[in-house]
Homo-oligomer: A and B are copies of this chain.
Amino acid sequence: MRCLYHLPLSAASRLVRLALAEKKLDFDLKVERVWDRRDDFLALNPAGEVPVLIEPDGTTLIEAPVIVEYLEEVHPEVRLIPGGPVDRAEVRRLLVWFDVKFRQEVTDNLAGEKIMKRLMGRGYPNSEAIRAGRANIHYHLDYIAYLAERRNWLAGEDFSIADIAAGAHLSVVDYLGDVPWEDHPAAKEWYARIKSRPCFRPLLGDVVPGVSAPAHYPDLDF
């Protein structure tokens, strides 16, 4: 059986969970407490990070965008990077946008400071970083609204890994109650659509000990 090492509030892990579920590929989930720096896990991924996907044939895959490209090549039945080369470049541009830019500007400043820093034993949250994350998210929600008002899904006509990447990151920040949905109705409308997809359901059921999600978090009609 395919196995995904993950953490419930790792956005990159959620991205891969969503991609696997959309592609209807079964997998077991194993929580990897990366802060324990287990030798067996470091042998799988020297960077010591989740997600790590072990395919049924033993192939070890690391880094969310790399896993997505691999799944797209080996399991192309459901396409997450659809269309021709130009369409695919737009999907990938937005994948990088959320996986790198949104992560640095928002997710790392909020989930990184509030949760991962404590777990990794790196001290207390930096309130300046949290303020920056809460300011930056407006700019990203505006951009999601801009795209969603002009296109069916974020990268174009078809649902793609761009929507999944954005949804994965926002779901983590939403668990912390840090998404100002009321100020961004068009982004909220797009998120309601992705949240209602069957692949999203397992994420909304995750419970992280010591961190409780706001009441609206699992609600499809939030």
Contacts and interface: CB of A to CB of B under 8 A. Distances in A.
A23 interface: no
A76 to B, nearest CB: 11
Nearest to A55: B86
B93 A66 contact: yes
A62 B74 CA distance: 26
Number of copies: 2
Contacts of A186: none
A58 to B, nearest CB: 10
Contacts of A46: 143
Interface of A: 46-47, 59, 61-63, 65-67, 69-70, 73-74, 85-86, 88-89, 92-93, 96-97, 100-101, 143
A-B CB proximity, top 4 nearest: A66-B92, A73-B85, A70-B89, A63-B96
30 contacts: A46-B143, A47-B97, A47-B101, A59-B86, A59-B89, A61-B89, A61-B93, A63-B92, A63-B93, A63-B96, A65-B65, A65-B92, A65-B96, A66-B89, A66-B92, A66-B93, A66-B96, A67-B89, A69-B69, A69-B88, A69-B89, A69-B92, A70-B85, A70-B86, A70-B88, A70-B89, A73-B85, A73-B88, A74-B85, A100-B100
